Amino acid sequence: MIRVQQDDFDPGQELDALARGNAAIGGVCSFIGLVRDFADGDSITAMTLEHYPGMTEKQLADIEAEAQARWPLDATLIIHRYGELKPGDRIVMVACASAHREAAFEACHFLIDWLKTKAPFWKKEHARSGGKWVEAKDKDDVAAMRWRKDEN
Amino acid sequence: MKVLYFAWLKEKTGIGQEDVDLPGDVTDVAGLIDWLKSRGDGYASAFADVTTVRAAVNQEHVPFDHPLRNGDEVAFFPPVTGG
């Protein structure tokens, strides 16, 4: 399931809902990303998340379908927020449910790594000195590379 | 053709979205960038360093040699930073 929203969410409720009613699920793995209060030595007071409505949903659906094709998953969830956020706020949650833990762990890691390099979101960090668009990090590309298949 | 700009490209062009008629000699994304740069200082500034610009056509990531047709939805943005 894909959700792109301004509002916060309750991770406990989301995890319960993901596995409810399917006793074939043996494990659920999740990752939650939060707004940090520091960046490059600056104190961050707020963050604005912009996205490309339409392409965001399309890219997230493609990423989710790719995870489901690669691992035996019973359920997947991607929630990504946009708009005005404060330090400590939740930004993103991905979760995968499977009969066994390996698939759940690996698919969860894959989802967040791929999302970071493919989903059209842009972060602007606000500090006392002003606002600054976050630059993409090479290490995110490296993290995503490991999930590329040999034939790509 | 619909052209969209995000993040600092939106700030520099001063535009989030516009409809443009594709000039006859523009056949790909790189050609569209060259034409946009000639339209004013905001555009020239936004596309001054294209190594920091990424493109999507019809909501799929594409390289700059991707062909264009009238009716395409083209978007320009910096490398993504979600998650």
For the segment B41-61, the average pLDDT, to the nearest whole number, is: 97
What is the predicted pLDDT for the residue at A103?
98
DSSP-derived letter for residue A136 is P
pLDDT at B72 over 50: yes
- Please, what are the domains in chain B? 2-77 (3.10.20.30)
pLDDT for residue A41: 85
Mean of the pLDDT values across residues B19-23? Answer: 93
pLDDT at B37: 97
What would the DSSP string read from start to end of B31-47? HHHHHHHTT-HHHHHHT
Q: Enumerate the residues of chain B whose CB falls inside 8 A of the CB of residue A122.
A: 6-7, 77-78, 80-82
Query: What local confidence, expressed as pLDDT, does residue A150 receive?
Result: 62
In this structure, which amino acid lies at residue A102?
E
State residue A152's pLDDT score.
46
Q: What is the mean pLDDT of residues B73-79?
A: 98
pLDDT in tens, chain A (152 residues): 999 999 999 999 999 999 999 999 999 999 999 999 999 888 999 999 999 999 999 999 999 999 999 999 999 999 999 999 999 999 999 999 999 999 999 999 999 999 999 999 999 999 998 999 999 988 888 889 899 886 44
Indicate the DSSP class of residue B67.
Answer: B
Q: Which one of A91, A122, A132 would you mutate to disrupt binding with B, by most B Cβ within 10 Å of its Cβ?
A: A122
With CA atoms as reference, the chain B residue closest to A32 would be: B83
Angle at A103 (CA atoms; ends A98, A107), nearest 5 degrees: 105
Residue B75 has pLDDT above 60, yes or no: yes
pLDDT band at B77 (very low <50, low <70, confident <90, very high): very high
Using the Cβ of B51 and the Cβ atoms of chain A, whether some distance falls under 8 Å is answered with no
**Which pLDDT tens digit goes with each residue over A84-109?**
999 999 999 999 999 999 999 999 99
pLDDT over 70, % of chain B:
100
Q: Assess whether pLDDT exceeds 90 at residue B34.
A: yes
**ipTM of this predicted structure:** 0.96
What pLDDT shows up at residue A40? 84
Task: Give the domain ranges of chain A.
Answer: 2-145
Question: What is the DSSP-derived secondary structure letter of residue A67?
Answer: H
Which CATH number describes the domain made up of A2-145? 3.90.1170.40
Contact criterion met (CB < 8 Å) for A135 and B59: no
What is the average per-residue pLDDT within B28-33? 98
Nearest alpha-carbon partner for A117 in A152, A97, A143 = A143
Check: CB of residue B56 under 8 Å from CB of residue B63: no
